[in-house]
Structure 1
Amino acid sequence: MERKNLYGYIINSSMVVALGIIYLKQINFNTSDVWWNWISLGLIVVILGMLTTVFFILRAQIKAKKKSEEKLLKSQKLLHSIIDNTTNAISVKKINGEYMLANKKYQSIFETYGKDLLGKTDHDMLPKELADRYLEADLEAMKLGEEIQIEEEIEQSDGKHTYLSVKFPLFDINNRVYAIGSISTDITERKMIMESQKTADTFFNISTDSLVIATSEKFLRVNPSLSNLLGYTKEELLNTPFAAYIFPEDLEKTKEAINKLEEGATLVSFQSRWICKDQSIKWLSWNATSDTATGRLYAVVRDITKELLLQNENEKRMNELYENQQKLNMIIENISDGVLVANTDKQVILANEVANELFGIADDSKISIDFSDHFKVLNPHEGKVFPAQNLPAELALGGKITNDIDVLLMNKQTNEIRRVLLSGRPIIDNENYIAAVVVTIKDISRYKRLEAELKKKDQESRRRIGFKSNQSKKEE
């Protein structure tokens, strides 16, 4: 254009100059029309000046237009660069659905269905059902004449993605819609986070354990379980420093525990007392950790009041049971008779020292309650084997009480014989069932020997003094 302007100026100027030269040669300055001649020459000069002025004006306009076009081109390139490099998917469609513009992100979304979108419609690439949904959204934006927001889903190479799309009409100079623009943001990850957050919130609210998020001084969030546990409303717990609810004697150790949490430690089963709204005291167990970056504390809380009461009762009972056991052991060990205690499976669970010595076994569990592993049980009068079913342990397991059954115990290894009196009785539990049996063994061997010796000495003494029996007197 600049060249055309220059060439036009040169040609026109040359023609005007040539015309001026010709006119100068033809005019006569000695005539009476000399003024008109000078005026004509002046007009030629003016025309030449106007041509020069027009030349420079056109030249300036051409340069300005060129700069404007360069600037516009630069702006277009910048705009296209921004559009192509944005993380949002941007597209423009004609009213008939043909793509006029699609940036790289938008092209990448539909690369599964074809890379070149320009001049095509959604129905040329997508399944009919999906294309119909997109077209319906475009028509809705045209109908309303304003932007709309919708969620759109599309299957991509790495799975299904969800996009939040803003669709808006584009108007021409006559205010008529000529195209539909769309800016779509991938919200797949955000939606997953929201779903995860929703699930976490649901878990937080329905948990039977009390869940807490707090600073070192106040609760930031509590679930309904803690409100139900302490009796305060959620607002009361959130708006009041939690130190107000801690039992005064436990306040100092709680502060120390919080300081440890802030340093990065983890609390496990930290126990403290809290004051409920009805002024009752509850023991709470805290499992807590902290986020040192934000200073937030996270805790799971359980009410262990009943457990501690039950534990204290159990400890008290165990102490009483231990004391009773010690007393029983002292009594059993100081009894001169052997004592065996067996469970319903006929396993000896307790034997005193006399019984251990009788059986020659220190390990109580290795003693048999029916003596069969260690002795032959004999009838003292007949010398026959005593029936096992009539032994005190067997009868006691059947609920019967026996006293002083006279038997002989023959050691299977040494054949040593002991004469003993066996007694047995069942131990009944709170539900009236047999829980165990007790068998006592009284060794009367020594007494029987003394009795035999006394009898023998008595007979010898009678003979020495000439004592005669009733039978001898009759013979006389």
Structure 2
Amino acid sequence: MKTSMERKNLYGYIINSIMVIALGIIYLKQINFNTTNAWWNWVSLGLIVVILGMLTIVFLVLKTQIKAKEKSQGELLRNQRLLQSIINNTTNVISVKKINGEYILVNEKYQLIFGTSEESLIGKTNHDILPKEIADRYLEADLEAIKAGKEIQIEEIVEQPDGPHIYLSVKFPLFDTSNRVYAIGSISTDITERKAIMESQKEADTFFNISTDSLVIASNEKFLKVNTSLSNLLGYTKEELLGTPFATYIFPEDIEKTKEAIKKLEKGANLVSFNNRWVCKDKSIKWLSWNATSDTDTGTLYAVARDITKDLLLQEEDEKRMNQLYENQQKLNMIIENISDGVLVANTDKQVILANEVANELFGIEDDSKISIDFSGHFKVLNSYDGKVFPVQNLPAELALEGKVTNDIDVLLMNKETNEIRRVLLSGRPIIDNENYIAAVVVTIKDISRYKRLEAELKRKDQESRRKIGFKKDDSKKKE
């Protein structure tokens, strides 16, 4: 059993005291205080008492020093344990090495990374536990700290079981009482995830700034972040947009409805295709269409804006054109309906898309799409002069699809159901679009049956009148 210093001091005091007392007793028995040298005997005895007193004083001083040392050692031990507890419970990787690279302190995180114990590291160098290339790299970094004479920061890559990790290491020299470097301390922080986040943030910022759409992060009153697109769109610098409430740039008549939309966003609703007007730096007005959402926990608004000014102008122009087209269509319909001739309009697929009332009556069909542009579904088309079938390829619709114009083709239309015959004049022409392509054809049908009957009736009556007044057929020919 190991004896403590306090017990050793006590044992030494007792032994020395016993020896001094024994010496004093022996001396007392041998001296004679009645002789002429009695004063010397008293002095000697006094010295023995002084020695005994000094032993007591030394004992007490040593006892106090031992207690102070034990207290100091206990405090030092507690501090060491506290320090070790702190460095073991930090997420940082901590180590201290001698100048020659030998480890004198490592925390548990350091041991975990290298997969070994403190006992296996203390007294060893990196060259003992790592490949030479990696150990040389770490040694070079340590030497840089010694050369600098102050702390330095470097990034180090450490291979771990789950892959390489990036550490930000703070290396610093440790000085003794003579101000000489005796060790190098190192505190390293794993910044692998932070690096990944920073890279991701960098990519997000790049995407944010190069987007052709205007991207915005805002509070309910001010822009927190805007990209270059919005700045270019409105003509203000980013600093101007970020330094002023965004209501400053909204067209006055649209401020209230914008505030109402923001209130809905704050309640968790998403904003889709919300349109409002903004005043640009050059005083022009632009319409922006917004899609937005919000983080209800932080109140942050996230929005994407698109300039729809040109779209709205085109829409207005389209509406005007449509209105004009409608008006023109109505006028055309009125004209067509009031024409005495039948009118058919067909597309390039030979489907009738418009027929006036005269044509509907002629065909006996009210549904325009059921009328055939070549009449084949309803009539037999015959030559007016010999009654033979008229070639389909020579009909006005067919020729118009080839880009040809025809006027007053005299034909007979024989109804396939009633055999009723009508004599008509057919005309056709193509309708050309802006690109000079045939878009449709128009066929007009002029019913001349009545006129031909009247003509025949007049001719018959003329012949009868001539006979009544004495004209003979042969005489009339002679006179002619």
Shorter-chain TM-score: which interval?
A: 0.7 to 0.9
Q: 2:473 aligned with 1:470, yes or no?
A: yes
Cα distance in 1 between the residues matched to 2:374 and 2:253: 60
- Output aligned runs, 1:29-44, within 5 Å: 29-44=33-48
| Deviation of 1:465 (Å) | 7.9
Which of residues 209, 215, 237 is equivalent to 1:233?
237
Give the structure 1 partner of residue 15 of structure 2: 11
2:316 and 2:158 map into 1 onto residues whose CA distance is 63
Cα separation, partners in 2 of 1:239 and 1:463, compared to 1, 3 Å = closer
The AA in structure 1 aligned to 2:69 is K
**CA distance in structure 1 between the aligned counterparts of 2:236 and 2:476, rounded to whole angstroms:** 108
Q: Does 1:344 align with 2:348?
A: yes
In 1: Cα distance, 2:89 partner to 2:51 partner: 56
Residue 34 of structure 1 and its aligned partner are, at CA, apart by 4.2
Distance in 1 between residues matched to 2:361 and 2:96, nearest whole Å? 105
Deviations 1:103-146 (A, max 9, x none): 2222333339x994444433444444433322221121122222
Match of 1:163 among 145, 162, 167: 167
Distance in 2 between the 1:376 and 1:327 partners? 33
Give the 3 Å change call, closer, same or farther, for CA 56–244 of structure 1 in structure 2. same
Change (3 A) 1:155 1:382: farther
The amino acid of 1:470's aligned partner reads: K
Partner of residue 445, structure 2: 441
Please give the residue correspondences for 1:213-228 in structure 2 after superposition, counting only pairs within 5 Å.
213-228=217-232
Counterparts in 2 of 1:50-449, with a 5 A limit?
50-111=54-115, 116-359=120-363, 361-411=365-415, 417-444=421-448
Q: CA deviation at 1:313?
A: 0.9
Give the drift of 1:257: 2.5
Shift of 1:37: 3.6
Q: Secondary structure at the match of 1:340?
A: strand
* Distance (whole Å) between structure 2 residues aligned to residue 16 and residue 255 of structure 1: 103
CA pair 156-426 structure 1, distance change in 2 beyond 3 A? same
Runs of 5+ consecutive residues of structure 2 not aligned to the other structure: none
Q: Per-residue deviation at 1:353?
A: 4.2
Shift of 1:224: 3.1
TM-superposition CA deviations, 1:78-102 (whole Å, max 9, x none): 2112112111111222333333332
Distance 1:206 1:473, change over 3 A: closer
| AA in 2 matched with 1:61 | Q
Whether the 8 Å contact between 1:333 and 1:353 is mirrored in structure 2 is yes
Q: Deviations 1:421-463 (Å, cap 9, x if unpaired)?
A: 32211112234332211112344556667777x5899599889
Residues 162 and 357 of structure 1, relative CA distance in 2, 3 Å threshold = farther
1:153 Cα deviation (Å)?
Answer: 1.6
Looking at structure 2, the residues matched to 288 and 245 of structure 1 have their Cα atoms a distance apart, in angstroms, of: 18
C-alpha distance in 1, partners of 2:103/2:196?
31
Separation in structure 2 between the aligned mates of residue 38 and residue 367 of structure 1, nearest angstrom: 162
SS at match of 1:325: helix
Structure 2 SS opposite 1:421? strand
Work out the CA distance in 2 between the residues paired with 1:354 and 1:160. Answer: 88
Change (3 A) 1:20 1:473: closer
CA contact (8 A) 1:89 1:185 kept: yes
Residue 88 of structure 2: SS of its match in structure 1?
helix
Does the 8 Å CA contact 1:341/1:348 hold for their aligned counterparts? yes
Corresponding letter in the other structure for 1:392: P
Q: 1-side partners of 2:158 and 2:354: how far apart?
A: 77
SS at match of 1:368: coil
> In the aligned structure 1, how far is the partner of 2:124 from the partner of 2:263?
65
Quickly say closer, same or farther: Cα 1:416–1:93, change in 2 above 3 A.
Answer: farther
* Cα distance, 1:268–1:55 mapped onto 2, change above 3 Å: same
3-state SS of the aligned residue for 2:297? coil
* Cα distance change, pair 32–130 in 1 and its aligned pair in 2 (3 A): closer
Q: Which amino acid aligns with 2:390?
A: F
Instruction: Give the match's secondary structure for 2:17.
Output: helix
1:339–1:441 Cα contact (<8 Å) kept: yes
* CA distance in 2 between partners of 1:226 and 1:115 (Å): 62
Structure 2 CA distance for aligned equivalents of residues 125 and 438 of structure 1: 96
**Percent of aligned pairs with the same amino acid:** 81
Deviation at 1:349, TM superposition (A): 2.2
The TM-score normalised by the length of structure 1 is 0.86
Distance in 2 between residues matched to 1:343 and 1:187, nearest whole Å = 71
Moved more, 287-296 or 151-160: 287-296
Q: Once structures 1 and 2 are overlaid, which stretch shifts more, 67-76 or 115-124?
A: 115-124
- Aligned in 2, Cα 1:75/1:426: closer, same or farther, shift over 3 Å? same
Alignment RMSD = 3.4
Aligned length: 473
Distance 2:175 2:18 in 1: 51
Contact 1:339 1:354 in 2 (8 A): yes
Q: How far apart are residue 391 of structure 1 and its match?
A: 0.3
> Residues 127 and 436 of structure 1: is their aligned pair in 2 closer, same or farther, counting only changes over 3 Å?
farther
Aligned counterparts of 1:123 and 1:36: Cα–Cα separation in 2: 75
Cα gap change, 1:116 to 1:14, in 2 (>3 Å): closer
Q: Give 2:10's aligned amino acid.
A: L
Closer, same or farther in 2 for the Cα pair 1:414/1:136, shift >3 Å? farther
Query: How far did residue 184 of structure 1 move?
Result: 0.8
**Structure 1 residues 451 and 115 mapped into 2: Cα distance closer, same or farther (>3 Å)?**
farther
1:128-175 per-residue CA deviation (whole Å, 9 max, x = no partner) reads 443332222112112222211111122322232211111112233443
Q: CA distance change for structure 1 residues 392 and 218 in 2, over 3 Å: closer, same or farther?
A: same
CA contact (8 A) 1:107 1:116 kept: no
TM-score by length of 2: 0.86
